[in-house]
Amino acid sequence: MLTRTTKRNWRAVAKQMESLVGKSGVVWTPEELLVFECDGLASYKQRPALAVLPQTTEELAAVLKLCHREEIPFVARGSGTGLSGGSLPVEECVLVVTSRMRRILKVDLENRQVVVQPGVINNWVTQAVSGAGFYYAPDPSSQSICSVGGNVAENSGGVHCLKYGVTTNHVLALKLVLPDGSIVDVGGPVPEMPGYDLTGLFVGSEGTLGIATEITLRILKTAESIQVLLADFETVDAAGAAVSAITSAGIVPGGMEIMDNLSINCVEDVVANGCYPRDAGAILLVEIDGLAVEVEASVRQVEALCRAAGARSTRIAVDLAERLNLWKGRKAAFAAMGQRAPNYYVQDGVIPRTKLQYVLRRIEELSKIHGYPIANVFHAGDGNLHPLILYDGRVAGELEKVEVLGGEILKLCVEVGGSISGEHGIGAEKRCYMSDMFTPADLETMQWVRVVFDPKTLANPTKLFPTPRTCGESARSGIAQSFKSAELF
Amino acid sequence: MTSSARSIDRELASLVESSALRDFESLAPLQQLRLARAGISASTSLVYPKSESELAAVIACAHRNRWQVLPCGRLSRIDWGKPAPAVDLVVSTERLDRVIEHAVGDLTVTAEAGISFGQLQVWLAEAGQFLALDPAYPEQSSLGGVLATAESGSMHHRYGGVRDQCLGITFVRSDGEIVKAGGRVVKNVAGYDLMKLLAGSYGTLGIITAATFRLYPVSEYSGTVLLTGPETAVSALTAAILASALTPTAIDLVGESLLESLGFQGQIGLAVRFASIRASVTEQLERVLALAPALKAERFELEEESHFWEKLHAQFWQADPAESVICKVGVRPVSAPLVLGEIRADATGWIRAGSGIGLVRWPAFDPVAITRMRQFCQARGGYLTVLEAPKAGKSQIDVWGYTGNALELMKRLQQQFDPQKVFSPARFVG
């Protein structure tokens, strides 16, 4: 398409945008645009031509209408905490930022639903309903800064998604602005509305089908009792065996997490709360929720299963402060890697839970072959791995080598019947691996959906799907971005 | 375009074994009745491919010849949706009935679409696991049929719907290409979620040939309490349970006539089901009873309680659809008890209190009553969709009751997936 490469009069576009959202809603100076040039995947950078910050559905629709008319590509951005470059700007694009759409529109406790604007921060939802004994289940570790709109776009998970599901299982309805600026409502206050499940199709579409401007979420009643068990093992294999034993026993914990020795030590260096024994091969965290009588019995059973699998010691936290203390290290794990290396590269592959031991051994081998330390922190309950490859991005060519290693790990996940992404999304980062999981016909079918929603391919173009052009190049700088006082994963 | 059945059979004979071609007359009477209600005449060709590739070849052939196809599984609910006009060929997945992989340790199962839903559950139960869906006609249904109609049942309350439990699918597109989406692992965000698009699409976007589902372990113990009494007291109890920390797997409101057919008395009933360790189930049953000391209560445990739910299913989904009309309804959860107050004595109601999804059955087609109920549901954020009704009845009324503004988008999707209208798109919404 010729229009993409033609030099556009951005000053004129900015003026038009200002007429739609007001002067304060348009950012166009290079200095101000600097903060928008990357998301949580900070090794990829691209400055947008403009950033536009609408406040209402109508304003946002007007912005997309203008983009549609002028054939301007646009990228949606919530808080910018995504880890796959989902909100990385593309060249000569308008970045549509939802951070001025932060109202909780409706709290309906009777029907256990909350309606929010996309810029609302994940944990504001729980805060709004916790007084009445409810909570919003999906809890990405970045929940104190990530937006619900971003969660919807990426179908975010979290450490407590094992029992209650990820974002898509908690979204009932959406008001969408399509890439041509039209507004449609999908889903409703009741599940299983007549017609295609466009809500389910939209969640996880990574900003390629439009922008959600009102999101109806299901909220859950807070469990009567919650306990967290920490067990430490000689080896990761033993911790993995304990996970299998717990699953086989029919226990469905709220969350079940493993950290390996390298992760434990990185965390203890930073958090230093002495929770995780530094000499352990791995630690396992299991959270059980439900009725008091049930939790009590299940935790005892989990403890016995851990002991049988070779746990050296176990510790159970009952009250809130104690539980948060046990979780603290896990939630800070990624940030803590900074102590050991200037940079880390994280993967998000998923494997069948029963392949855990095999895959971890292979990752260790890959680590040795490629010569980079890999720390493993993962959602063991659902087989979602987060191998963290430690490297020094200041050395030219290192990132490229690390990406090759990351690719090997993803291929390993696919080889054992898994997936290249469990919760971070494909974005700009993993699009070239989509062909390892899907055939050209599978991808063509997905593109059918895209062309229906976005015939001009203006919404987050180049993301999610492999293209010959994007799978050979990328914009990188290798500089890590940090979010102060927030845990990211 | 309608081709003659004989020329279609001739053409198919080169693609499938002769045993794959069946006569309408060879079907069970109930299957014939349902097919007739779906608009299929006795002279229509029926084909039962025995493999995915054979099925794909049949669809490619239909695409080439511009035949119109009605996809089906085991014909337990083929009459749901609008009757299909001008179908040349009925294609069944019934012979695609293998369990491809039951990953016991991973709590997932991948099976071909034609497998009997009931038999699959029996298979899974041997490993102490189950698929957390309790749809209509479990013994007669195929897994693919349950998925294509997204009909989940009472366990929706704890486990979510069909769309929440399907992890991956393989389907044959309208051009005969075999494609897949999702995967076999419990967490996966790679690519568009076509599982959700295909779930509840009634075969209008492709024929599902295999699917992967999440499984759950069978609990050590289970129990149900049925409370009956006046509507206001039962409504108050429902609200109290939903606002409590109790964790039922199902919480269903049962109308007066359905109660009566099960041998219970009362204006309205509330069946609350628990599955967990024994101590938890016992305690939760007792807590429910303590919340409503004035209501009449019946308590069922273990086999007795699964028998209760089977009976409830059997009473509602009576396998004699000659005249009766069954509608799926939805209202905001808070209005769920009101639906039962709204139906008259001759109708039967069964509503899931947590989600507001329910079912209403009338003994005969009554457009006035259906329309009134639809208006009632729509005024409460919901809908009414006619599932089962005589063909003549369905032609008099909007079957789907879709009221939103996304119809255009849905039609464009249908057009993109099936530009030649191979898969009877007229059966669906709009």
Look at residue B321 in the predicted model and tell me its pLDDT: 65
Say whether A419 and B185 touch across the interface (CB within 8 A). yes
Which of A178, A197, A294 minimises the CB distance to B197?
A: A197
A201 at the B interface (CB within 8 A)?
Answer: yes
The DSSP code sequence of B195-239 is HHHHTTSTTSS-EEEEEEEE-EEPPSEEEEEEEEE-HHHHHHHHH
Residues 464-483 of A with CB under 8 A from B: 464
Which of A223, A419, A434 minimises the CB distance to B245?
A: A223
Which of A111, A194, A221 minimises the CB distance to B245?
A: A221
Give the integer Cα–Cα distance in Å for A408 and A212: 35
Say whether A184 and B199 touch across the interface (CB within 8 A). no
- Work out the angle between the directed axes of helices B278-291 and A292-308 (0-180°, nearest 10): 170
Residues 268-297 of A with CB under 8 A from B: 290-291, 293-294, 297
Size of interface A-B (CB pairs under 8 A): 269
Best CA proximity match to B76, nearest among B134, B46, B116: B116
- Give the Å distances, CA to CA, from A260 to A118, A282, A311, B385: 36, 4, 14, 52
Identify each DSSP E strand in A275-370 by its residue range: 282-290, 313-317, 343-346
Phi, psi of A135 (to 5 degrees): -155, 165
Burial class (CB in 10 A: 0-12, 13-18, 19+), A103: middle
Which of B195, B383, B407 minimises the CB distance to A193?
A: B383
B222 at the A interface (CB within 8 A)?
Answer: no
Q: Can you list the residues of chain B whose pLDDT is less than 50?
A: 1
B154 at the A interface (CB within 8 A)?
Answer: no
Which of B156, B218, B402 minimises the CB distance to A194?
A: B402
The DSSP code for B19 is: G
- Work out the angle between the directed axes of helices A236-248 and A356-370 (0-180°, nearest 10): 160
Look at residue A159 in the predicted model and tell me its pLDDT: 83
Answer whether B409's CB lies under 8 Å from B415's CB: no
A252 at the B interface (CB within 8 A)?
Answer: yes
pLDDT tens-digit profile of A197-224?
999 999 999 999 999 999 999 999 999 9
**Nearest chain B Cα distance for residue A371, angstroms:** 29
Say whether A185 and B405 touch across the interface (CB within 8 A). yes
Chain centroid offset of residue B301 CA: 26
Largest CA distance in chain A: 70
B244 at the A interface (CB within 8 A)?
Answer: yes
* C-alpha triplet A451, A455, A457: angle, nearest 5°: 90
Answer whether A197's CB lies under 8 Å from A223's CB: no
Q: Which residue of B has its CA nearest to A169?
A: B164
Which of B103, B193, B331 minimises the CB distance to A201?
A: B193
Give the integer Cα–Cα distance in Å for A279 and A233: 9
Q: Any idea which residue has 């490229």 for tokens? A: A400
Answer whether A146's CB lies under 8 Å from A81's CB: yes
Enter the tokens of residue B225. Answer: 């309490």
Which chain B residues contact residue A445 at CB under 8 A? 173, 177, 179, 181, 194, 417
Which of B188, B277, B279 minimises the CB distance to A350?
A: B188
Q: Any idea which residue has 């069948």 for tokens? A: A352
Say whether B383 and A222 touch across the interface (CB within 8 A). no
User: CA dihedral in degrees (B109, B113, B114, B115; nearest 10)?
Assistant: 10
Q: Which residue of A has its CA nearest to B280?
A: A294
Identify each DSSP E strand in B302-388 by its residue range: 325-330, 348-352, 357-362, 383-388
B202 at the A interface (CB within 8 A)?
Answer: no
Q: Can you list the residues of chain A whose pLDDT is less than 50?
A: 1-4, 473-489
B276 at the A interface (CB within 8 A)?
Answer: yes
The DSSP code sequence of B255-266 is EHHHHHHTT--S
Which chain B residues contact residue A382 at CB under 8 A? 185-187
Give the integer Cα–Cα distance in Å for B326 and A41: 52
B362 at the A interface (CB within 8 A)?
Answer: no
Residues 175-194 of A with CB under 8 A from B: 178, 183-186, 188-194
First to last CA, chain A: 38
Answer whether B226's CB lies under 8 Å from B133's CB: no
- Work out the angle between the directed axes of helices A10-21 and A57-70 (0-180°, nearest 10): 160
**Nearest chain A Cα distance for residue B406, angstroms:** 6
Say whether A419 and B188 touch across the interface (CB within 8 A). yes
* C-alpha triplet B25, B28, B31: angle, nearest 5°: 95
Look at residue A360 in the predicted model and tell me its pLDDT: 92
Exposure of B29 in the CB half-sphere (CA atoms within 13 A): 4
What does the radius of gyration of chain B's CA atoms come to, in whole angstroms?
A: 22
- Give the Å distances, CA to CA, from B223 to B110, B235, B245, B312: 30, 21, 17, 15
Q: What is the pTM of this model?
A: 0.96
b/e sequence A124-151, b meaning 16+ C-beta within 10 Å: bbbebbeeebbbbbbbbbbbbbbbbbbb
